[in-house]
């Protein structure tokens, strides 16, 4: 067993939007994740610390925070990968209202998924046969590329266009919309294109690729958004969005 002689200097955002960073000393352990550090502070130093997590294995998408200035999921981020001079700065995600400490209010984020018509609507019932979707078709591949999103909000928190245009739907919702535009079973295509067009939708995106760089699932929302830009612009020219 290793001796805990090393400590990590951790500063954590406390309070609401008008809060401040508070410093804590946390023992440094082998294979320690950032989430382990937060959990240590809550269990051993200040039980009042608020944060979210659930699965601890990168599946639920609830543990994302700003780690040394960059949005990350914390359960799958090793301290060794992100600490600078044995120090960590932990803040709630940007671009979302702070509830308290490390917890943000994600409702706008999810409302925008709904706003982008992020729900699947098919027309078959359980009494009908399965749809046969060819795995090799271009549409299926495009949908597959974005389908693994876990809704963690890392891309949304990293996107400057969201900061500049608070009504912008953002990368996650648009990535979801693109998977559905490419789902041949879905029947509300036209309405969805109408929902994602324009400057509150895909056409606001400036292709910074920050979202794609940061997505922990390796998804590139930038590319799906590019697809939406073309498809909706063509639909607009044909008068299909009026």
Partner 1 sequence: MSAATQAKLWYAQRISAMVLALCVVVHIVTILYAVRGGLTAAEILGRTRGNAAFAAFYVLFVLSAAIHAPIGLARIAEEWLQWRGRLMNVVLSVFAAALVFTGLSAVWGLYGG
Partner 2 sequence: MAGSANTARRNDRRARGMPGYWAFVVHRLSGVGLALFIPVHFWALSKSLQGEASLTSFLRWTDTALFKFAEWGLVCLLAAHLVGGLRLLLIEFAPWRGVRSGWIVAMVGTTLSVAILLAALMMH
Q: Is 1 helix (H, G, I), strand (E, B) or coil?
A: coil
Q: Scanning residues 200 to 239, which ones bind partner 1 (CB under 8 A)?
A: 200-201, 203-204, 206, 229, 232-237
Is position 117 an interface residue for partner 1 (rule: CB under 8 A)? Answer: no
Q: Which of 43, 124, 185, 206 binds ligand HEM (CB under 6 A)?
A: 206
Q: Where are the alpha helices (DSSP H) in 123-170?
A: 138-146, 154-158, 160-164
What residue 220 binds from partner 1, ligand HEM, partner 2, none (CB within 5 to 8 A, per partner kind)? partner 2
**How many chain residues touch ligand FES (CB under 6 A)?**
12
d(CA 81, CA 92): 19
Q: Which of 23, 44, 50, 59 binds ligand FES (CB under 6 A)?
A: 59
Q: Scanning residues 85 to 144, which ones bind ligand FES (CB under 6 A)?
A: none
Q: How far is the CB of 23 from partner 1 (least distance, A)?
A: 35
**How many chain residues touch partner 2 (CB under 8 A)?**
43
Between 121 and 208, CB nearer to ligand SF4: 208
Tokens at 58, concatenated: 């990168």
Is position 147 an interface residue for partner 2 (rule: CB under 8 A)? Answer: no
Is position 151 an interface residue for ligand SF4 (rule: CB under 6 A)? Answer: yes
Note the Cα 93 to chain centre separation in Å: 10
What residue 194 binds from ligand HEM, ligand SF4, partner 1, none (CB within 5 to 8 A, per partner kind)? partner 1
Q: Find all residues with CB under 8 Å of 31, minimum gap 6, and list them.
A: 78
Residue 138: exposed, middle, or buried by beta-carbon count in 10 A (0-12, 13-18, 19+)? exposed
Integer CA distances (angstroms), 114 to 9, 22, 80, in order = 40, 36, 37
Between 6 and 167, CB nearer to partner 2: 167
Integer CA distances (angstroms), 83 to 58, 102, 121, 190, 210, in order = 20, 18, 44, 47, 21
For strand 87-91 and strand 7-14, is the pairing parallel, antiparallel, or unpaired? parallel
| Site residues, ligand SF4 (CB under 6 A) | 149-155, 159, 161, 171-172, 175, 205-211, 215, 217, 219, 221-222, 225
| Site residues, ligand HEM (CB under 6 A) | 206-207
């Amino acid at each position: 067993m290793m001796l805990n002689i090393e400590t990590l200097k951790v500063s954590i955002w406390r309070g609401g939007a008008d809060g401040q960073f508070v410093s804590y000393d946390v023992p440094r352990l082998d294979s320690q994740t950032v989430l382990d550090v937060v959990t240590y502070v809550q269990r051993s130093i200040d039980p009042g610390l608020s944060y979210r997590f659930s699965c601890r294995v990168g599946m639920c998408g609830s543990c994302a925070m700003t780690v040394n200035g960059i949005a990350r999921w914390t359960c799958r981020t090793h301290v060794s990968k992100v600490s600078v001079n044995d120090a960590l700065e932990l803040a709630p995600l940007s671009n979302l209202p702070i509830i308290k400490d490390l917890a943000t209010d994600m409702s706008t984020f999810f409302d925008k998924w709904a706003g982008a018509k992020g729900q699947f609507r098919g027309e078959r019932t359980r009494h009908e046969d399965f749809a046969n979707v060819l795995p090799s078709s271009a549409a299926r591949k495009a949908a597959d590329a974005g389908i693994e999103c876990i809704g963690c909000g890392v891309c949304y928190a990293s996107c400057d266009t969201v900061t500049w245009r608070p009504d912008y739907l953002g990368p996650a919702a648009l990535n979801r919309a693109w998977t559905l535009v490419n789902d041949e079973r879905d029947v509300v295509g036209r309405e969805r294109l109408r929902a994602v067009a324009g400057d509150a939708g895909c056409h606001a995106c400036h292709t910074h690729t920050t979202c794609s760089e940061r997505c922990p699932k390796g998804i590139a929302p930038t590319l799906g958004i590019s697809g939406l830009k073309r498809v909706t612009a063509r639909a607009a020219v044909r008068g299909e969005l009026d």
